[in-house]
Amino acid sequence: MNSHEQEVPSFVCKPKENNMTAVVFSGKRSDCVHIYMAQVLKIDGSDAYLRYLKRSGNIYQWPVDVDESWQPVDDICVQYHILNIINNREQLQFSEDATETVKKTALNRPGVTTVFMK
């Protein structure tokens, strides 16, 4: 593998508390998925308690109304240790490479042909 190629990780990763993750939700059609970015707040066995970011263009930020839920760890496909904080309002940005990795990883799911970043 040369320096411009990147390995596409397997679909499921082992999340760690406080890390940022990409979480996959099935769409209405069986061949599409929706990807949400979230922070892992707690791990309890096979479930993770997540706090979701809100997307606005290519920027993510914490929503005014807190959005949290328990999700199976199997729904977490990619984990990030660091995001780019782009201003003093705590707006975050994923690199283009990171976004492409999330999409490729989600497309590795059996039967998935369409990925929507949320």
Residue-range definition of the domain harbouring residue 72: 20-109
Number of domains present in the structure of the chain: 1
Tell whether 103 is covered by a domain: yes
pTM above 0.85, yes or no: no
Tell whether 116 is covered by a domain: no
Tell whether 10 is covered by a domain: no
Nearest to 50 by CA among 35, 34, 70: 70
Tell whether 118 is covered by a domain: no
Tell whether 83 is covered by a domain: yes
pLDDT at 52: 93
Tell whether 33 is covered by a domain: yes
Q: DSSP 3-state assignment of 116? A: strand
- How many helices (H) and strands (E) are present in the chain, helices listed first? 1, 10
pLDDT at 99: 78
Tell whether 97 is covered by a domain: yes
Show the tokens assigned to 78: 């990619």
Per-residue pLDDT of the chain (118 residues; tens, 9 = 90+): 333 334 434 455 678 888 888 888 877 777 888 888 899 999 999 999 999 999 888 788 889 999 999 999 888 877 765 566 666 677 777 777 777 877 888 888 788 888 888 7
Tell whether 46 is covered by a domain: yes
